[in-house]
Structure 1
């Protein structure tokens, strides 16, 4: 079938580092330009995003850091991309919500003028979702070929949901399914655990999808500037991020799960600190040198020398007599000779 075109229609798809329009970058861009005469022009560019590609994204599109390390930055090819698309209308799958906004962010960062005015945008996903509605009513009609009586009453909707599941198992049991990595399986079986794994492929931590489990079973952020990083790593490098989320407009269950992770991380950190302290306390201390104490009989005899007082000039060897004070001498009777001596001594001249 040939499309009726008045001007070229550029189908395009973007592979990127993630889904955050403002923070993530293009790693591959492919454009098929369908001209009014039915001819096609195809261009594909690999792009160095200027940032690491999270493993979760690489597992989806198969492009790793090593694959694009020598490729140009988008700003180096932005003019070529704009020139190739030219005045074409744009088409893609989920392109209105993702591909077009992502492409415009890259053009703006590169200072390349790309005017969206007067273009037509065809989003194939929207056609699919609107023609094949994803409502319970549509599922009940599709799988059970019934109309819900008293639709939107809790019991009627609950019973319809139960019947749809039974019909899905009957319809898809034994049907092969291929995941994004190309792995094939038959996931819809009559087993609740198997159905749990199939209906929770993104492995959300908090149901809102703000945090998901990575391949190692670690909680990782699934949004914002820390997308793809483990929650514990972010708590280490930016502790204030926890407070920002707890005070922010996030679902209560998201906050609850984040608090559980924070408490677990704190407990582990405290346990490691206590273990380090205990290790330091039990570590053997450096030993001081021990002086050997010998038994008395083994001790070398020490010689004591009396001081040589004979070297003092006016030294007189003391007699071995008891020392007596002058007051201890016997009193001598006063006689006339003594009185005469005293009189002569104090006689005035």
Structure 2
């Protein structure tokens, strides 16, 4: 499989408040590249969000904005590209909200959600949170809610699901954005 796994963390409930982003590039079922950046949002921080991911306003004071990094990451979000996330509804909504907020062109790509594939392929788990699925598949997730650690775990989940369950049920879960 070839895809890019993504994960965002946000400063608040506002979807355009991304404070970190990670991309993990997979080619032929191997992680071949990684990208991680803190981001400076144009919003106030929620204490609840900061407590979850450990990123505070002072941590991103000198970080680039989403608009600053978009030219670097835009090539990963094209029609022929597969973007994977655990709870893709959230991560894709953050991406779309950031594009809208900064008046950037919309991105169109294929999406696969490992939360949904996990619910379908592993129905007996107590829940399908990233850490639960990672544990069930013997995938290390040492720093949960760090965007890079979460994106790596997501990539490894999809690779492992492909190995265990085959590609057919995964292909059925692909949708277009």
**TM-score scaled by length of structure 1:** 0.33
Find runs of 4+ consecutive structure 1 residues off by over 6 angstroms. Answer: none
User: Distance in 2 between the 1:19 and 1:40 partners?
Assistant: 32
Q: Deviations over 1:232-284 (max 9, x none)?
A: xxxxxxxxxxxxxxxxxxxxxxxxxxxxxxxxxxxxxxxxxxxxxxxxxxxxx
Q: Deviations over 1:89-139 (max 9, x none)?
A: 1101001x20011101111222332432xx3311111122233448xxx98
Q: Deviations over 1:305-341 (max 9, x none)?
A: xxxxxxxxxxxxxxxxxxxxxxxxxxxxxxxxxxxxx
RMSD of equivalent CA atoms: 2.9
Q: Is the 8 A contact 2:87 2:113 kept in 1?
A: yes
Pair 1:127 & 2:120 matched: no
Map residues 143-182 of structure 1 onto 2, 5 A cutoff. Answer: none
Larger radius of gyration: 1
**TM-score scaled by length of structure 2:** 0.62
What SS does the aligned partner of 2:22 have? strand
Q: Is the 8 A contact 2:77 2:107 kept in 1?
A: no
Q: Is the 8 A contact 1:26 1:49 kept in 2?
A: yes
Bigger strand fraction: 2
User: Distance in 2 between the 1:19 and 1:91 partners?
Assistant: 22
Q: Is the 8 A contact 1:89 1:121 kept in 2?
A: yes
User: Distance in 1 between the 2:13 and 2:122 partners?
Assistant: 25
The alpha carbon displacement at 1:45 in A equals: 1.3
Question: What residue ranges of structure 2 are gaps of 5+ in the alignment?
Answer: 127-143, 146-177
Higher relative contact order (CA 8 A, sep 6+): 2
Distance 1:15 1:38, change over 3 A: same
Map residues 6-155 of structure 1 onto 2, 5 A cutoff. Answer: 8-21=2-15, 24-36=16-28, 38=30, 40-86=32-78, 87-95=80-88, 97-116=89-108, 119-133=109-123
